[in-house]
Structure 1
Amino acid sequence: MEGKAMRNQIIHLKTIERNTTLYHYTQIAGVQGILDEKSFWATKSDFLNDPREFSYIIEVIQQMSGSVFKNKEWKELFLKNIFKEGDHFVYEKNKEFFVLAFSTCSDSITLWAEFGNETGYNMAFDSEKIIKKIAKSNAIAYHGYVVYALEEQRDYILDLMQKKIPESFGLSFADIMNRGMTSESDPVFQKACRMFQKAAKIYAMFFKQEGFTEEREYRFVFKKSEGMNVLFREKEGFLIPYIKITMLESDNKLPIRGITVAPKNDSDLARKGMEYYLHRHGYQVPVELSRIKLRY
């Protein structure tokens, strides 16, 4: 418990403000699952669109270590100790994570391309209310904005390394490193390395390459628990594992603010059918066409 409490104190994830909107891009089956079953699908983390999900942070740490550590011996000692678990630096043994993604962008050509220009829909939710509904019947491990800017990612790591962790020991960063140089097995140095490692694993879930910035993602991370049912869906000839994030039936309606139809899903029936579908479920919210105009 002490270790968990300490990690929570040194971790800072930026969460969404009140009275804002979260957008969920999906296809028609996703819309039906959300409204008919009151459930979202959270994808297993190593099946997301970025092949370096949850491991990109290793590159960030390695890149910044050259400028942070003026002393080459300090750098080698630090990297050796935080990466000594090898491949398990990011993926802890026997732990699986699933990600549910939203966006703060109401009409993104990048996300339409991923979720179907021809068949996609974008569901707008009241951010505060949807978070409460998800949390009411699901154990959210973490949620917050994804960080894309390399400079901001470095600031998170530096704050962790040089301020938050040393302050928790009542020491300076230099004091901790000097203890490690005196004896690599020094308990304070080893505990500081483990704290950094565990905190970095959490940040790893929210760091992505700058090329994905336009997604403006807000994500929820769920840890697979014993007895949790993992399902599979087909995508382009392969299977993707996911879990259902189900909200209580007693909650009645979801906090939907509206739905947008994808740019190339331009049949009049796409909008008309969705309006009638929502009406049958008791929702009186606008259904709009994407403002993005595409020729092909």
Structure 2
Amino acid sequence: MQDKIHFDSTLWEKVFHLLQKKETKETHEGLLYHYTTPAGLLGILQNQHIWATEASFLNDLYEIQYGLDMTKEVINTYLKNKDTYIQQFCELSLNYLEHMNSKEEEIYITSFCETSDLLSQWKGYTNFGEGYAVGLNLENMIDSNSDEEFGHISIKKVIYNKKEQSKMVKSKIKFMVLQSQKLIAQDLPNTENIMKASAKSLAYYLNAQSKRFKSSAFSEEKEWRAIYINNDFANEQRIKNKLRMVDSILTPYIELHLYKKNSAKNKILPIKEIIIGPKVDGKKAGKSINLIYKNLEVKLPKIKESKISLQ
């Protein structure tokens, strides 16, 4: 099952487009905050991009495994379906999902939070308060309202409710089963190819979607994630990843340029606010940020200090 399936681009475009159209737009009225270290903030401001880490190298792999296990659990319920086609289709999708090897799967993630001054985020991402929270406007981020998942940046809200997670997986399965059957009805001689293309497309989609699922124990975080699938599966040009050292491990990452396409000439991230962490000298940090923005020759965002006390 690990071999790549080859099918003509016209067929792929049909199947792929069906999944894209199924996506719903997501908006958020307030800012989304990216918690980061001093080095991270410097990189964001100087280079105007945010790093996204390959999912299998994230600090807590349980977060990633949770969503994948839950997705497989739902697919498994269809393997006893009385409809032979549904049973075979889901078995094929499950096999693809289970056997996606590291060369095929390359998903990059960076996290945001709806809350600007949250203790758990300061502890988890800024060495217990020795960092910053960068507030960005979702509506001004590139592709934030895009329906495109594969080969494009997708900024989505993390889902913590298990019933809602299950409902999302079932919805995609039912939709793709139905659409693949419609395609087969139009081209019976190509039945096997259509079924395989559809099943593998669904597996890729569900694999990416699973990165939005987390246990309800983490619901306080109110997290959003920018997800980027980096491969040539959908005839998209793969971005060359870079490497950095994290705890003695060479960790792959890519640079996400989250400014809108129509403002790409300026190449400025839509940063509206910067929160200085509870263990950072607010006066010195504020002056440094001010000087950086003078060099950028753009409007200085609001600069605030954390109200949380950390010893």
Give the TM-score normalised by the residue count of structure 1: 0.74
State the distance in 1 between where 2:268 and 2:19 align: 37
Measure the CA separation in 2 of the matches of 1:188 and 1:140.
24
Partner of 1:285: 301
In the alignment, the residues of structure 2 paired with residue 212 and residue 259 of structure 1 have an alpha-carbon distance, to the nearest angstrom, of 24
* 2:172 is the counterpart of 1:160: yes
User: Do residues 219 (structure 1) and 210 (structure 2) align?
Assistant: no
Q: Report if the CA contact (8 A) 2:33-2:113 is conserved.
A: yes
| Structure 2 letter corresponding to 1:257 | K
Structure 1 range deviating more: 68-77 or 39-48: 68-77
2:152 match: 140
Report what 2:246 is aligned to. 235
CA offset at residue 19 of structure 1?
A: 5.1
Aligned to 1:122: 133
Pair 151,196 (structure 1): closer, same or farther in 2 beyond 3 Å? same
TM-score normalised to structure 2 length? 0.71
1:208 aligns with one of 211, 214, 223: 214
Asked if structure 2 preserves the Cα contact closer than 8 Å seen for 1:16 and 1:127, the reply is no
Q: Which stretches in structure 2 are left out of the alignment for 5+ residues?
A: 1-9, 184-190
Matched, 1:28 2:28: no
Query: Which residue number in structure 2 is paired with residue 81 of structure 1?
Result: 92
| Pair 1:281–1:61, CA change in 2 (3 A) | closer
Where does the alignment leave 5 or more consecutive residues of structure 1 unmatched?
172-184
1:50 to 54, 60, 63: 60
Are the structure 2 counterparts of residues 222 and 267 from structure 1 closer, same or farther at C-alpha, using a change threshold of 3 Å?
Answer: same
Contact 2:51 2:255 in 1 (8 A): yes
Offset at residue 76 of structure 1 (A): 7.7
Q: Residues 94, 67 of structure 1: CA spacing in aligned structure 2 closer, same or farther, 3 A cutoff?
A: closer
- With over 3 angstroms needed to count, the CA separation of the structure-2 counterparts of 1:230 and 1:70, relative to structure 1, is closer
Does the CA contact (< 8 Å) of 2:243 and 2:250 recur in 1? yes
How far did residue 214 of structure 1 move? Answer: 3.1
What is the match of residue 19 of structure 2?
10
Cα contact 1:141–1:221 (8 A) shared by 2: yes
Residue 213 of structure 2 aligns to which amino acid in structure 1?
F
Work out the number of aligned pairs and report it.
277
| Superposed CA RMSD | 3.7
**Is the contact made by 2:79 and 2:91 (CA closer than 8 Å) also made in structure 1?**
no
Change in 2 beyond 3 A, CA 1:159/1:218: same
